[in-house]
Amino acid sequence: MRRAVPLRTLTGAGLAVALAGCLYAAAGAASPGGGDGGRGEPSGPGSAVAAADAEVVDPGLRPQAPELSGADLDGKPVGLAEFRGQVLVLNVWGSWCGPCRAEADDLARLSGQTREQGVRFLGINTRDRDRAAARSFVRAHGLEFPSLHDPTGELLLRFPPALLNPQTIPSTLVIDRRGRIAVSIGGAVTDEELKPLLNRVAQEPS
């Protein structure tokens, strides 16, 4: 069983320690299962971390999420701008990815549980050139939120790689009501780990 998510908010000395390099990348190689591809590269400032070590970044220090729009798995337009004013969980996944399958049911459940708090979910489906395989994944796990179709990873490259590494699948960002990145997680996450972080961000003033 994973340990509980710490609910500390990065401020003052805590942030300084994080920026000094205490945050580590949970995964980051070409293989979907994680690893660093043998490069042994250290994590950079503000790097994504494993879910069990995720923190809510102080509001004044959060980077703005990039503008992002495209077509979902049914070809309908969707973008980050339409979620402004709500807390957004942005989850990167692929139908070929084992850890994505492991977390999908938890995300489906949590998206329903947190909706009344003003929390919305949006996926980015990556490396699935065939939309049919991605749609089958969505149906199998009961995912009712939309997902941008990003087979080449072009959308992922718009984010700072330390916060959203295109080679780390799955990854999850929590974006606050002002469009700023409040939480960055590399690797799979459970509803038990993510829900306290969402509660923290959702309770912040608009």
What tens digit of pLDDT does each residue of 19-38 get? 222 222 333 333 333 333 33
Q: How far apart are the C-alpha atoms of 184 and 47, rounded to whole Å? A: 8
In a domain, residue 4? The reply is: no
Within a 13 Å sphere around the CA of 185, how many CA atoms are in the beta-carbon half? 30
Using CA atoms, how far residue 139 sits from 32, 98, 143, in Å, is 22, 16, 7
**Residue numbers of the domain that contains 144:** 9-202
In a domain, 176, yes or no: yes
Question: Does residue 89 sit within a domain?
Answer: yes
Residue-wise pLDDT for 42-63, tens only, equals: 333 356 999 999 999 999 999 9
Q: Report the domain count for the chain.
A: 1
Q: Is residue 2 part of a domain?
A: no
Q: Tell me if 1 is assigned to some domain.
A: no
What is the band of 65 on the pLDDT scale with cuts at 50, 70, 90?
Answer: very high
User: Within its chain, how far is the Cα of 157 from the centroid?
Assistant: 14
* CATH code of the domain containing 115: 3.40.30.10
Average pLDDT, the chain: 83
**Residue 3 falls within a domain, yes or no?**
no
Nearest to 102 by CA among 170, 25, 164: 170
